[in-house]
Amino acid sequence: MESVSSLEEWRRWCEAVRRSGRTVGLVPTMGALHAGHSSLVRAAVDAGDAVVMSIFVNPRQFEDVGDLSSYPSTPEEDATVAEASGVDLLVRPSLRQMWPRYPEPTPTTVRVSGVSEPFEGEARPGHFDGVASVVAKLLTVTGPCRLYMGEKDFQQVAVVRQFVDDLGFAVDVRACPTVRDEDGLALSSRNRRLSAPGRVRALALSRVLQILARDEWTPGAVRQHLRSVLSEADLPLEYAEVVRPDTLEPWPDGSEGVGRILVAVRVDGVRLIDNGPVILVKGA
């Protein structure tokens, strides 16, 4: 595995890969790597890509400064995990290169309306502007590529798909399935902040999604079931909605198809999000 930090070396490496006839696969991360990130690398390796992983803790997507300062940093472990997973080029750009004016605002922002506004957009104002801006910059340096992102952050993938499409990036966005611990909890770098009892309570989240994925439901029954299971588990709910997977608009009553359930709860002061598919029917 090679490692670089300059945007120029990174750009040149990707250009050389494309000249040799291979495709670049980009796995963007903020470090604190876990098996979820490794699964994205594996998807890129399986597709035959030359795999670039970026590690950059992007301050522009943290609306809460405390969240930024407590974000885990494990650089040595990250390099080991990246190499073992099959990364070919590890890029760790500096803050100076990514956002030279920081902490002054950067004049240019990529803002996606619609899909970025509800759910996480409402709970974390400015978050998706930061995400879209940084991913746009990572893609600009990388050039034409396949982009691997985890479905765990379902709304984030929808936001990225939207600007990639609208701005004409030569990028194939691949959403990869959420990786879960054996007990069902979706992997997230936030999980390490949960207490042991908090973690047990949090399992209700993946359990209810599993139950809802098994059967056919009306949108109303989905909402009702989510609310009652999560309140029984004493998990304060931030949102629980069943939506159209592409636009994230509420699933219309009376229409049939495969929707997506998006849920956010708070456990031990930690926000946990999860999502899963559901088959929707009209009902009696």
Only one of the segments 98-106, 128-136, 207-215, 272-280 lies at the binding site for ligand PAF (rule: CB under 6 A); that segment is 128-136
Q: Per rule CB under 6 A, is residue 212 in the interface with ligand PAF?
A: no
How many CB atoms are located within 10 Å of the residue 140 CB?
12
Among 38, 39, 58, 133, binds ligand PAF (CB under 6 A): 58
Q: In angstroms, rounded to a whole number, what is the distance separating the alpha carbons of residues 153 and 184?
A: 16
User: Smaller CB distance to ligand PAF: residue 30 or 229?
Assistant: 30
Label each residue of 25-82 as H, E or C.
EEEEECCCCCHHHHHHHHHHHHCCCEEEEEECCCHHHCCCHHHHHCCCCCHHHHHHHH
Q: Per rule CB under 6 A, is residue 29 in the interface with ligand PAF?
A: yes
Q: Per rule CB under 6 A, is residue 28 in the interface with ligand PAF?
A: yes
Q: Per rule CB under 6 A, is residue 131 in the interface with ligand PAF?
A: yes
CB of 246 to ligand PAF, least distance (A): 19
Q: What is the H or E stretch that residue 245 is in?
A: none
Q: Are 272 and 178 in contact (CB under 8 A)?
A: no
Q: In angstroms, rounded to a whole number, what is the distance separating the alpha carbons of residues 89 and 222?
A: 43
Bridge partners for 8 per DSSP: none
Distances 66 to 60, 69, 70, 113, 281 between C-alpha atoms, Å: 13, 5, 6, 27, 43
User: Smaller CB distance to ligand PAF: residue 159 or 280?
Assistant: 159
Q: In angstroms, rounded to a whole number, what is the distance separating the alpha carbons of residues 34 and 188?
A: 8
- Known catalytic residue: 37? yes
Q: Per rule CB under 6 A, is residue 135 in the interface with ligand PAF?
A: yes
Q: Which member of 34, 37, 127, 225 is catalytic? A: 37
CB of 87 to ligand PAF, least distance (A): 14
Phi/psi of residue 246, nearest 5 degrees: -90, -45
How many CB atoms are located within 10 Å of the residue 25 CB?
29
Only one of the segments 28-36, 82-90, 112-120, 253-261 lies at the binding site for ligand PAF (rule: CB under 6 A); that segment is 28-36
User: Smaller CB distance to ligand PAF: residue 150 or 219?
Assistant: 150
3-state secondary structure of 237: strand
CB of 58 to ligand PAF, least distance (A): 4
Residues 137-196 that bind ligand PAF (CB under 6 A): 153, 156
Only one of the segments 12-20, 27-35, 66-74, 194-202 lies at the binding site for ligand PAF (rule: CB under 6 A); that segment is 27-35
CB of 155 to ligand PAF, least distance (A): 11
3-state secondary structure of 256: coil
Among 7, 14, 26, 30, binds ligand PAF (CB under 6 A): 30
Q: Show which residues are catalytic.
A: 37
Q: Catalog residues that contact ligand PAF under the rule CB under 6 A.
A: 28-30, 58, 61, 131, 134-135, 153, 156
